[in-house]
Structure 1
């Protein structure tokens, strides 16, 4: 399969009618990208964006992170379809236009644990009439999910591309005091004494949704500031270049940017509010113009954030972590790759994870690329470069 050139049309969205029968507004999708629902999918009515022919030999799944949507893959969908792939990007459990889940901060979040989410994707693959996926590509929390797809079901998910969030492997079994989750939990427990709190543990509390569902600056400005501070556009991510800080303890975590380790009790909207970009910065933000940010603003204003926050309750929950210990020592043995921005602290927020991914967790790592001029939203900030790297990876399979 040859690489299709990445044209300018892949990097722009246009108002293309979509059919939903739901009364929801149309999404501003590139030509050739379709919006539809797939059901049943492990109890869900799953909204997906897709491109390319469903009869194509190779299926590629694109998994978004937080606070994102299938729409985050708007640039990749048509380009991968032009290269001959059938490409599907779902609104994952808890997000967007997918329905059938319970977004309740006090309910058992078990159906947002990683094995359950892998099962969601297996059910989606079956509902699409397929038995395997040529490659699963994930960004942010979707990167962890893609990694677990490759680890738990390598017979279905034949290759894994992770973006922005490295995977250091499952937690150890038996539990060790110095394994990754144990060290991180101990470090997080020491943060309140320093007047700080870790964003993942904050996201695991009911107050996170209360803060973010009704941010004092309004949803548009909150999301604009949130996307800005985690991008290469925020100058502090340039002046304080992300790097491995060498330790996992409270004092070291407290040196991470304030969008990862927040001032205690402040909440995310207030933490990022002072970093709201100027009108001039907003006007020059080509990777997320206001008409595209409006998609996120509209969807999260409608649904709230708790559906996605359920994932964090599982990420930090002792029961869910101990369940994952069953797979301690297992590796990702299908071909794998990693892409991240050079201004992205997510790569190094857990010391040693980036190296562990390359040295131990993935036994067939074909590519590991750091993209200049990109922060955390790498596939949106530098879509042309990411598409070229992704197509190169897919060809190597």
Structure 2
């Protein structure tokens, strides 16, 4: 536990801390993951010579100092404050910079803003599963036209209405996860918490044969409706109801070496203790106009440190925000070294294919010179 980190007491998993000269690898998880989700990757990177640190992010697991309440202020969970969490943790660990910063899922935008705001501390970044399209921008050259600035994210309501008008009616998963009901639904599912989490991890992995992702042409209801129901849900269904039909068989569970029953039990016990609300606050932040507007501080700014994007070939996350991958590649990240899609991986890349992931990471770090960056 690292105390006093931007108001948090941060629970971490770490390896390779024996030598203070080791460069720091910081790993930021997503939803509904924990620091524990990096368990397969941590020892591999430590064996490669890094001090590897994976925190339970704000709202998750055994990290404390945040308010576990739907009605709590959202500002502490904003992308900029979670960026401050990462910066404060690096300094609390006795480092001036990281050798590598890795963010998965909801950890990806946090990592992106770390590299955007503090390239001196985060001189390289790897984004996983969630492409970064760049910060919201201020309107340009409106002085002559007299046009009024448009609030970022105002298209969400129109998109929700268009999805609801489909036959059958649909709803984007982020809208559901932002609702007041989502925490209770997932904390107390009719099939039991363990079975819910098993189905959720399974259906978003390469193990489920229904995952055949491909780019979507536009951010429209018709295009989004091509995604599986765990991304674009049937309107009126809860997430536990959505994934229940995909619960793997006993034989499939036994065959799952990347998430054994005892390992899944760690997730079950942690979420049984905390519920999901802290983890869900980040989804509410994504649709909060004021918290998105503050990101305009970085309007027009790009990620200018060496960067890498890694997805799973069976992960819809790469394409779930149509256009984001192309924006990241052509505009938002000026030194994007490569976009890698890993065979045999769905959304949970670091659990499903840790060996291949570590190969890509170590090669990237060596290429950009991060291995020469030390503490102090």
Match of 2:281 among 310, 319, 322: 310
- Whole-angstrom distance in 2 between the partners of 1:61 and 1:82: 15
- Look up the SS of the partner of 1:262 in the other structure: strand
Post-superposition shift, 1:367? 2.3
Post-superposition shift, 1:188? 2.7
Post-superposition shift, 1:57? 3.9
Does the 8 Å CA contact 1:56/1:85 hold for their aligned counterparts? no
- Whole-angstrom distance in 1 between the partners of 2:12 and 2:303: 26
What pairs with 1:1-397 in structure 2 (closer than 5 Å)? 37-53=1-17, 55-174=20-139, 181-183=153-155, 186-194=158-166, 195-237=169-211, 241-397=212-368
- Whole-angstrom distance in 2 between the partners of 1:293 and 1:56: 34
- Whole-angstrom distance in 2 between the partners of 1:326 and 1:163: 24
- Look up the SS of the partner of 2:73 in the other structure: coil
Post-superposition shift, 1:46? 0.5
- Whole-angstrom distance in 2 between the partners of 1:255 and 1:392: 35
Does the 8 Å CA contact 1:170/1:324 hold for their aligned counterparts? yes
Does the 8 Å CA contact 2:15/2:51 hold for their aligned counterparts? yes
Higher-RCO chain (CA-CA 8 Å, sequence separation at least 6): 2
TM-score of the superposed pair, with normalisation by structure 1: 0.87
- Whole-angstrom distance in 2 between the partners of 1:380 and 1:347: 17
- Whole-angstrom distance in 1 between the partners of 2:42 and 2:182: 32
Post-superposition shift, 1:56? 2.5
TM-score of the superposed pair, with normalisation by structure 2: 0.92
Q: 150-159 or 320-329: which moved more? A: 320-329
Does the 8 Å CA contact 2:152/2:289 hold for their aligned counterparts? no
RMSD between aligned residues: 1.7
- Look up the SS of the partner of 2:52 in the other structure: strand
Unaligned runs of at least 5 residues, structure 1: 1-36
Does the 8 Å CA contact 2:151/2:293 hold for their aligned counterparts? no
Does the 8 Å CA contact 2:152/2:292 hold for their aligned counterparts? no
- Whole-angstrom distance in 2 between the partners of 1:204 and 1:246: 25
- Look up the SS of the partner of 1:157 in the other structure: coil
**Cα deviation 1:255-305 (Å, max 9, x = unaligned):** 211001111121100100011111111111111111111111110111100
Unaligned runs of at least 5 residues, structure 2: 141-147, 369-376
- Look up the SS of the partner of 1:396 in the other structure: helix
